[in-house]
């Protein structure tokens, strides 16, 4: 649905994007995780060409946006919704007026506009607030207005720039649940950027980890966690740097099987548990365990764990 290739963006001396490739599949929620200054917002603005990349191409829904200008680009952009950290609502307009705004710009006639606004407010659970002004709404309600407005043009893609960063944890969860519902019910592809691992954990199917204008690692979360040396696993499960010879076992989906007790029973080994954690990620349990194995059959025990589909990494 979104394909970015070789994106570069330079502001004077600053290289905000340094060769970014991004591949977002239709119908997924794709997170870009990175610290402040990593280039996330620049990437998002390049995806809908609010910002022209210095080099590289962006294709959304089969259309190369970086080759378009003027009216053609505007029309293509209408199929891409965007929501923001600070909501960017028009304070002088009511909730309904804010959602109607993009429809007015698109030239949608009044009766159709009113029908559509009512439908959108219903979709985000704000039907009772149509006549209110933004100042009277809570943060979560403001973001719901932002989401309704972003969906006005029936986009196939929604871009979210830290949409929950100004919200408290409970409200964040409710907005993320709404995004997940819209993703499922409308088949909406969502590209969301965030500096919070919790956001990635609770809604993303895939993730890209971004540092210094580059993507360090990207792909479906389950695949990344099963990959040796995963940055995502290291960030999700902060364990100390392992002592040489210690073993880190990553469970993706087998977290409820008593594999460690099997190992101890089947092989002549002792297992010391040095650390570990269990996390709920992308709807399933993922665990990481740091262990030390001793005994003559340590090698065979590790092979057994690998045969069970666990990722087994032995520190050098
Ligand atoms: P993030 O969203 O991950 O915090 P940004 O994309 O906003 O990162 O910024 C990446 C880098 O590009 C930062 O060093 C920032 O200062 C710089 N930058 C972003 N936008 C501009 C701009 N319009 N002019 C100059 N520098 C910018
Ligand atoms: Mg940003």
What digits encode the pLDDT tens for the residues 73-86? 999 998 999 999 99
User: Does residue 156 share a domain with residue 187?
Assistant: yes
User: Does residue 141 share a domain with residue 265?
Assistant: no
Ligand 1 atom closest to 51 (CA): 23
Higher pLDDT, 176 or 284: 176
Q: What is the pLDDT of residue 280?
A: 87
User: Does residue 271 share a domain with residue 140?
Assistant: no
Query: Tens digits of per-residue pLDDT, 24-42?
Result: 999 999 999 999 999 999 9
Nearest partner of 196 among 169, 157, 229, judged by Cα: 169
Confidence of residue 252 (pLDDT cuts 50, 70, 90): confident
User: Above 70 in pLDDT, residue 286?
Assistant: yes
Nearest partner of 148 among 185, 105, 116, 170, judged by Cα: 116
Strand 80-84 and strand 247-252: pairing? unpaired
User: Does residue 201 share a domain with residue 97?
Assistant: yes
Nearest partner of 243 among 267, 272, 278, judged by Cα: 272
Looking up residue 53, the CATH number of its domain turns out to be 3.40.50.300
Confidence of residue 260 (pLDDT cuts 50, 70, 90): confident
Centre a 10 Å sphere on the Cβ of residue 155 and count the other Cβ atoms it contains.
21
User: Does residue 17 share a domain with residue 155?
Assistant: yes
Residues near ligand 1 (Cβ within 6 A): 11, 14, 16, 34, 36-42
- Of 166, 187, 220, the residue that ends a domain is 220
Q: What is the pLDDT of residue 101?
A: 96
User: Above 70 in pLDDT, residue 148?
Assistant: yes
Strand 206-211 and strand 284-294: pairing? unpaired
φ, ψ of residue 209 to 5 degrees: the values are: -100, 125
Q: What is the pLDDT of residue 304?
A: 95
Nearest partner of 18 among 4, 6, 2, judged by Cα: 6
Strand 14-24 and strand 2-11: pairing? antiparallel
User: Does residue 243 share a domain with residue 145?
Assistant: no
User: Above 80 in pLDDT, residue 255?
Assistant: no
CA atoms within 13 A on the CB side of 239: 27
Higher pLDDT, 282 or 290: 290
Ligand 1 test: best mutation among 8, 9, 10, 14, most atoms within 8 Å of CB? 14
In a domain, 73, yes or no: yes
> What percentage of residues in the chain have a pLDDT greater than 70?
99
Mean pLDDT taken over the chain: 94
User: Does residue 246 share a domain with residue 201?
Assistant: no
- The alpha carbon of 15 and the centre of ligand 1 are apart by a number of angstroms equal to 9
In a domain, 231, yes or no: no
Residue 225 CA to residue 184 CA, distance in Å, equals 24
- Of 170, 185, 220, the residue that ends a domain is 220
Sequence-separated (6 or more) residues with CB below 8 Å from residue 279: 201, 236, 237, 285, 286, 287
User: Does residue 67 share a domain with residue 146?
Assistant: yes
Confidence of residue 53 (pLDDT cuts 50, 70, 90): very high
In a domain, 75, yes or no: yes
Ligand 1 test: best mutation among 16, 45, 213, 216, most atoms within 8 Å of CB? 16
Confidence of residue 70 (pLDDT cuts 50, 70, 90): very high
Looking up residue 266, the CATH number of its domain turns out to be 3.30.70.260
- Of 179, 194, 220, the residue that ends a domain is 220
Strand partners, 207: 31, 219
Residue 60 CA to residue 284 CA, distance in Å, equals 30
Q: What is the pLDDT of residue 254?
A: 63
User: Does residue 208 share a domain with residue 251?
Assistant: no
The mean per-residue pLDDT over the stretch 4-21 comes to 97
User: Above 90 in pLDDT, residue 253?
Assistant: no
In a domain, 229, yes or no: no
- The alpha carbon of 43 and the centre of ligand 2 are apart by a number of angstroms equal to 9
**Residue 1 contacts residue 60 (beta carbons within 8 Å):** yes
The mean per-residue pLDDT over the stretch 241-256 comes to 85
Our count of domains for the chain comes to: 2
Nearest-10 Cα torsion for 134, 29, 153, 40: 70
**Which residues constitute the domain of residue 248?**
237-314
Residue 182 CA to residue 178 CA, distance in Å, equals 6
Confidence of residue 177 (pLDDT cuts 50, 70, 90): very high
User: Does residue 203 share a domain with residue 116?
Assistant: yes
Q: What is the pLDDT of residue 121?
A: 98
User: Does residue 213 share a domain with residue 270?
Assistant: no
CA atoms within 13 A on the CB side of 129: 24
In a domain, 36, yes or no: yes
Work out the burial of residue 227: count CB atoms within 10 Å of its CB; fewer than 13 is exposed, 13-18 middle, 19 or more buried: middle
The mean per-residue pLDDT over the stretch 173-202 comes to 96
User: Does residue 256 share a domain with residue 128?
Assistant: no
Strand 311-314 and strand 247-252: pairing? antiparallel
In a domain, 91, yes or no: yes
Query: Tens digits of per-residue pLDDT, 91-118?
Result: 999 999 999 999 999 999 999 999 999 9
User: Above 90 in pLDDT, residue 127?
Assistant: yes
**Residue 4 contacts residue 46 (beta carbons within 8 Å):** yes
Q: What is the pLDDT of residue 212?
A: 97
């Amino acid at each position: 649905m979104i394909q970015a290739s070789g994106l570069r963006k330079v502001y004077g001396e600053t290289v905000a994007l340094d060769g970014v490739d991004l591949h977002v599949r239709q119908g997924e929620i794709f997170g870009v995780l990175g610290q402040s200054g990593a280039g996330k917002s620049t990437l998002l603005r390049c995806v809908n060409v609010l910002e022209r990349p210095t080099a590289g191409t962006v294709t959304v829904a089969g259309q190369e946006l970086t080759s378009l200008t003027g009216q053609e680009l505007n029309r293509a952009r209408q199929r891409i919704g965007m929501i923001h950290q600070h909501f960017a609502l028009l304070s002088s307009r009511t909730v309904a007026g804010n959602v109607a705004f993009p429809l007015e710009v698109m030239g949608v006639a009044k009766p159709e506009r009113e029908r559509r606004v009512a439908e959108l407010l219903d979709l985000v659970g704000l039907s009772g607030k149509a006549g209110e002004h933004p100042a009277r709404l809570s943060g979560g309600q403001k973001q719901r207005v932002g989401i309704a407005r972003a969906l006005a043009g029936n986009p196939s893609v929604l871009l979210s720039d830290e949409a929950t960063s100004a919200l408290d944890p409970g409200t964040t969860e409710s907005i993320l649940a709404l995004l997940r519902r819209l993703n499922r019910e409308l088949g909406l592809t969502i590209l969301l950027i965030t500096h919070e691992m919790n956001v990635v954990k609770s809604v993303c199917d895939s993730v890209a980890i971004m540092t210094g204008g580059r993507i360090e690692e990207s792909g479906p979360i389950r695949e990344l966690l099963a990959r040796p040396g995963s940055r995502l696993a290291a960030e999700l499960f902060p364990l100390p740097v392992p002592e040489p010879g210690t073993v880190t076992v990553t469970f993706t989906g087998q977290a409820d099987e008593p594999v460690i007790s099997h190992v101890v029973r089947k092989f002549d080994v002792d297992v010391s548990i040095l650390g570990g954690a269990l996390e709920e990620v992308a709807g399933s349990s993922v665990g990481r365990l740091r262990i030390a194995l001793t005994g003559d059959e340590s090698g065979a025990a590790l092979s057994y764990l690998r045969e069970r589909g666990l990722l087994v990494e032995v520190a050098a």
